[in-house]
Structure 1
Amino acid sequence: MALRPTLDFLLYDWLDAPSLQQRERFADHSRETFDAVLDTCERIAREKYAPFNRTVDTQEPQFDGEKVVLPQATHDAHKAFVESGMLSAAQDYDIGGMQLPYTLQAAANSFFAMASVSIGSNMLTSGNANLLMVHGTEMQKDVFARNEFSGRWAGTMCLSEPQAGSSLSDVATRAVPDGPDFQSDPLGPRYRLTGNKMWISSGDHELTENIVHIVLAKIPDENGKLIPGTRGISLFIVPKKMVDSKGQLTGERNDVALAGLNHKLGWRGTTNTLLNFGEGKYQPQGKGGAIGYLVGQPGKGLHCMFHMMNEARIGVGLAATMLGMAGYQASLEYAKNRPQGRPVGPGGKDAAKAQIRIIEHADVRRMLLAQKSYCEGALALELYCARLVDEQRTGTAQAADEARLLLEVLTPIAKSWPSEWCLEANSLAIQVHGGYGYTRDFPVEQYWRDNRLNMIHEGTHGIQGMDLLGRKVLMEEGRGLQLLAARIKATRERAAQVPELAQHAQALGQALQQVTSATQAAWATGQPTDALANAVPYMQAFGHTVLAWIWLDVALAALRADATKSVASTAGQLGAARYFYHYELPKIGAWLNVVESRDLTCASLPEDAF
């Protein structure tokens, strides 16, 4: 994998990750420990993940009537990942963590996502445990989160339902108090859940001895009716197997049953399930209904769950990025070695001359450079967001507050932009391969299939667009957007003093002005139906502007580090930035035109006209 030089540059030359060592939480670390973590994860990914990416695609999970069967390679990879300590890498020492910066954890996880995203890197397990560390009781942290961080148990996120999909206000799973003493259970207020959950990744498997489901359900009112909307939604811990207050299995199954496996276009190595809660197949403590322990306060389930959802969205963005990167590396290698065609001279092509490699054709270079600009730019964005997480956790009060707001604004972009444009990179990788790319003899078709999921799960593209334009740019009177604009301005001012980048700085300023103007125009009538009709084009333009800023900042770092870097590497970064400014940033005009004019072509077309 030719990923390491890019990671090293972004971590050390651009984000200055070693400066985090000056903070008390990370004082035990050094560049050497950071490198050792990256070396270990790169080796595990190379030995346990990459060789089996095709295996887990062709040997899909199977349910034998009692358990879900996965290839041995998945068990081996999971074991190696757990033993690396990466599940709890950013956690405190006293719960078995390494107190690494989240920036390093995200960078290290990129190796696994690139080697085989389908085998997975336990994103939901760590997200589940992190949620409990914030919102759970001390007992819930000790019993559930610690066992997830150790890799002994796995975790899921159970939101969607067959009839509701992404519409969480329509959740119908019920949770009722389990008897008059339901408040006295040491693991938390005990409820009985009934309902169905759909699209649950890793919802059933034998990789760990237990699975901890985090489940959204509604507590009925005093009349036994579910409260409409999201107000009644609460959050519950529902273990697959019952446990005691010491974290030991009791030998009893909870009333959670696998109803079926979903057979997917890609990402086939990870089980995706339909789960039935409380169907009566199992009878924990003598009666039906899945036992769940309340997390946080009743009716505050979505508030708690968003902690996990936002973390998962950045994880999805990183997965999409690395699938794009895998395709880019594969198509680059192919283009360097595939002879085809001849150069065009003044008199046309000379058939007597030897064939040239396809990387020498201008259009192939265009496709490669597009992939490079999408994927390396997206990786920089994801690591920047990870750096904001560290700032939120360990910075000064002002720095932490600013990081929080910037993350709110950038999270929809960190999820959606790579899931769209790194998917496009995968499509270009197939195109570079030509007909061979459309066969299963080469890996690029699988990368595309795996990546196609990322525009859908953890909030679809449309949901991310509405979240960005409908909430994030407006929250706290637009302060998050103002903070982002200030950081963009600071980069522009530095770049304006550099002859190679001055033109880019000017273009970025114009793009930011267009986005700001379109934001105001979209909400000019104050009507959400007007503003949000073109939320996705808005998000595309916003994302392209953010990526243009990221590339300009990266280009500045490349020029600063020029004395210690190879000429080819610097030329590649500057070339990718130039490509993005010449070929990609100009696209925002068309997107913002429909936003600014509040064009209702799509929203107003009568149904029968379709």
Structure 2
Amino acid sequence: MSLRPTIDFLLNDWLSVERLNQRERFSDHSRETFDAVLDTCERIAREKYAPFNRLVDTQEPHFDGEKVILPQATHDAQKAYAESGMLSAAQDYEIGGMQLPYTVEAAANAFFAMASVSIGSGLLTVGNANLLMAHGSEAQKRVFALNEFSGRWSGTMCLSEPQAGSSLSDVATRAVPDGTGFESDPLGPRYRLKGNKMWISAGEHELTENIVHLVLAKIPDEHGKLVPGVKGISLFIVPKKLVDTEGQLTGERNDVALAGLNHKCGWRGTTNTLLNFGEGKYPVRGDAGAIGYLVGQPGKGLQCMFHMMNEARIGVGMAATMLGMAGYHASLDYAKNRPQGRPVTSGGKDAAAPQVRIIEHADVKRMLLAQKSYAEGALALELYCARLVDEQHTGAPEAADDARLLLEVLTPIAKSWPSEWCLEANSLAIQVHGGYGYTRDFPVEQYWRDNRLNMIHEGTHGIQGMDLLGRKVLMENGKGLALLAGRVNATIERAIQVPELAAHANALGQALQDVGATTKAAWATANPTEALANAVPYLQAFGHTVLAWIWLDVALAAHAAPDSSARTGRLAAVRFFFHYELPKIGAWLQVVRTRDLTCADLAEDAF
């Protein structure tokens, strides 16, 4: 079973991505050039990634005392990815890019995530470089971002610390000016950093000739004290190896040292590190501290970093989606070929009757339809968000601003919903396989392990829930929520005219009304403690409502398509989601609407 027909349908029949070619930035492109990019990425993923997914899971990165060792397959995959041009796919022609719509770039990257999310592609490197293109100086763009886009260097994001985790206001890494004239360095104001960073993906390796760390740190005040909270956080470029203003390595190692590798449940092919900055293992230029260059203004580091964090959150959502898709394809193939049991119609007791394949059992069909509705629905959501990015960057001013605000509201869903429900899809994939699914002889247990991280990194469910209910639905006086409701209602109005979809349209209308009323009820007392006590159930209900809308909109495109097994399958997934999934929102919204404090008020000794 191939992913490509689903990608083609969503891009062309649903999102009509070829219409983007009418915009000046994409005018050189056509359906043929988009297909060529998809063909190339599908081939590289099939040849360089998929065959080695199990290998990188079993041959974990290890440190030999001098460098981190990764399998040759990882080196080959990363080289092929860089040579494909995908690292700079969306960039200007002038800097070696393809000026490809982000929607097509996201779809092309889906092949790599499905083939081996553990090997990875260019998520952090591209996000790092994109941040520098938005907030860096001209020298920083030229020296650091362009070398990342070329694949010569790679990038990281260094936020969390061992004692702080997601609480960025508590970061303790310090940055002090590096001597006199520190502000005149051509690469930016030069500082010395000291501190420790934890959970740094791709923080140490030999895949590229340099690693560009983007590090959050605090500049002490005039009394040498760190400013509490997020206001004192600044952002710094801290290269593993020092470079000159032409982007050439100087031969000096910066004072960034590997303190340890984290041994993970999944994503084992991706190096995950604890890094020490400025602890003296690699003294540089006769002084203590890692050399870093300030990005943007002092104290504005978190605002800059959100540029990368939001990209990463959508990337996490896509990774979770494609792991769910991989499990679905694997369990569908297994169900079509595994004989077991006999038809219920015969009482299932005639031992002489031939066995049936397990896909003929209603409960197995239920599990397969659940996986399909989660994974394909999530893929449609991620591509819709990617389409909003294109609208934000190339649309007319009003449409671009609407896209920006819609993306703000949808980002917590794009990250959290696939990470929860495509993980559930992977659990169902194991169940379809039965006992075999729990063994390492089949790939579905690895898909589950790899996917379990996605509910945690780039902001846990709790963080995403508080972001959605505490900030996103309230921002700009609720304009983003109103915009989303407008889009949903437009789909409902179209679908209600189609007899086969009218009941779904009415159900979605009721769900939208319930979410709106619950949002108001949650904030009725204007007490954040009460409003946010059940932020995660709100996130779940909001997410299911968004996915019901996405599926109904997809269903309109599917309904208009000629009869085929793919059309039948999509419309069945829509029915499944509306019959089995959307009704769940009632229980989630109930505790939010009543501001239930069962959890918030319980004393710890009661546990």
Counterpart of 1:183 in structure 2 is 183
Partner of 1:335: 335
Q: What is the deviation of 1:559?
A: 1.3
SS in 2 for 1:215: strand
SS at match of 2:500: coil
Q: Amino acid of the residue matched to residue 246 of structure 1?
A: E
Residue 588 (structure 2) pairs with residue 591 (structure 1): yes
Q: Distance in 2 between matches of 1:347 and 1:547?
A: 38
Does residue 570 (structure 1) correspond to residue 570 (structure 2)? The answer is no
Q: 1:349 to 1:194 in 2, by over 3 A?
A: same
Equivalent residues of 2:280, 2:288 under 8 A apart: yes
Partner of 1:380: 380
Stretches (4+) displaced over 6 A: none
Counterparts of residues 361-400 of structure 1 (less than 5 Å): 361-400=361-400
**Equivalent residue for 1:139?**
139
How many Å apart are 1:350 and its aligned residue?
2.1
C-alpha spacing 1:348/1:163, structure 2 compared with 1 (3 Å): closer
> SS at the partner of 2:551?
helix
1:567 is matched by which residue type in structure 2? S
Describe the SS at the equivalent of 1:543.
helix
1:166-565 mapped onto 2 (5 Å cutoff): 166-345=166-345, 349-560=349-560, 562-563=561-562
> Which residue identity lines up with residue 504 of structure 2 in the other structure?
H
- Whichever residue aligns with residue 579 of structure 2, its letter is H
Paired amino acid for 2:460: T
Percentage identity across paired residues of the two chains: 83
Distance 1:581 1:351 in 2: 38
Deviation of 1:345 (Å): 2.1
The one-letter code matched in structure 2 to 1:571 is T
1:158 aligned to 2:155?
A: no
Give the Å deviation of 1:283.
Answer: 1.7
Letter in 1 for 2:162: P
Deviations 1:159-209, CA, capped at 9 Å, x for gaps = 000000000000000000001210010000000000000000000000000
Name the CA distance, whole Å, in 2 between partners of 1:102 and 1:19: 14
| 1:414-450 alpha-carbon deviations (Å, 9 max, x no partner) | 0000000000000000000000000000000000000
- Aligned residue in 2 for 1:92: 92
Q: Secondary structure at the match of 1:100?
A: coil
SS in 2 for 1:236: strand
Measured in 1, the distance between the counterparts of 2:73 and 2:344 equals 49
What are the superposed Cα offsets for residues 43-72 of structure 1, whole Å, 9 maximum, x if unpaired?
000000000000000000000000000000
The DSSP-based 3-state class of the residue aligned with 1:325 is helix
Matched, 1:579 2:542: no
| AA partner of residue 209 (structure 2) | E
Q: Which runs of 5+ in 2 are unaligned?
A: none
**Paired letter, 1:505:** A
Distance 1:95 1:532 in 2: 45
Q: Could you list the per-position Cα deviations for residues 2-42 of structure 1 after superposition, in whole angstroms to 9, with x for gaps in the alignment?
A: 10000000000000000000000000000000000000000
Aligned equivalent of 1:605: 602
Q: Displacement, 1:286?
A: 1.7
Following the alignment from structure 1 to structure 2, what is the Cα–Cα distance between the partners of residues 346 and 508?
A: 39
Task: Tell me whether 1:51 sits opposite 2:48 in the alignment.
Answer: no
Q: Which stretch of the first structure deviates more once superposed, 40-49 or 339-348?
A: 339-348
- SS of aligned partner of 1:285: coil
Aligned mates of 2:251, 2:280 — CA distance in 1: 17
CA distance in 2, matches of 1:345, 1:391: 53
Contact 2:190–2:291 at 8 Å: present in 1 too?
yes
Whole-angstrom CA distance in 1 between matches of 2:499 and 2:258: 62
Contact 2:169 2:230 in 1 (8 A): yes
Unaligned runs of 5+ residues in structure 1 are: none
Partner Cα separation in structure 1 for residue 170 and residue 130 of structure 2 = 26
Which residue identity lines up with residue 167 of structure 2 in the other structure?
S
Amino acid aligned to 2:54: R
For 2:243 and 2:429, the matched residues in 1 are separated by: 48
SS in 1 for 2:274: strand
Amino acid at match of 1:351: A
Amino acid at match of 1:325: M
* Counterpart amino acid of residue 272 in structure 2: N
Corresponding residue for 2:37? Answer: 37
- The letter of the residue matching 2:343 is P
SS of match in other structure, 2:155: strand
Aligned length: 607
Contact 2:188 2:295 in 1 (8 A): yes
Check conservation: 2:310, 2:411, Cα contact below 8 A. Answer: yes
Residue type at the aligned position of 1:606: A
**Does 2:25 match 1:25?**
yes
For the 8 Å contact 2:212–2:237, the answer to whether it is kept is yes
What letter matches 2:207 in structure 1?
L
CA contact 2:342–2:348 (8 Å) conserved in 1: no
CA–CA separation in structure 2 for the residues paired with 1:577 and 1:39:
29
TM-score by length of 1: 0.99
CA distance in 2, matches of 1:241, 1:347: 71
1:125 aligns with 2:125: yes
- Contact 2:144–2:247 at 8 Å: present in 1 too? yes
Q: How far is 1:348 from its partner?
A: 5.1
Distance in 2 (CA, whole Å) between partners of 1:40 and 1:344 is 46
The alpha-carbon deviation at position 344 of structure 1 amounts to 1.6
Equivalent AA in structure 2 for residue 389 of structure 1: V
Q: Deviations over 1:450-473 (max 9, x none)?
A: 000000000111000000000000
Give 1:300 shift: 0.2
Aligned pairs for 1:77-116 (under 5 A) are 77-116=77-116
Q: State the Cα distance separating 1:346 from its structure 2 match.
A: 5.8
Mapped partners of 1:362, 1:569: distance in 2: 19
Backbone CA RMSD of aligned residues: 0.6
Q: Deviations over 1:195-253 (max 9, x none)?
A: 00000000000000000000000000000000000110000000000000000000000
Which amino acid counterpart does residue 599 of structure 2 have in structure 1?
Answer: C
Q: In 2, distance between residues paired with 1:433 and 1:503?
A: 34
**Partner AA of 1:599 in structure 2:** D
Check whether the contact 2:341–2:348 (CA below 8 A) recurs between aligned residues. no
Aligned-residue offset at 1:583: 0.1
Which amino acid is the alignment partner of residue 401 of structure 1?
A: D
C-alpha distance after superposition, 1:268-304 (max 9, x if no partner): 0000000000001112222120000000000000000
Residue type matched to 2:575 in 1?
A: R
Given residue 215 of structure 1, which amino acid in structure 2 is its aligned partner? V
Provide TM-score, normalisation by structure 2: 1.00
**Corresponding residue for 1:9?**
9
SS of corresponding position for 1:510? helix
Cα distance, 1:347 vs structure 2: 5.0
Q: Could you tell me how far apart the structure 2 residues matched to 1:242 and 1:597 are?
A: 57
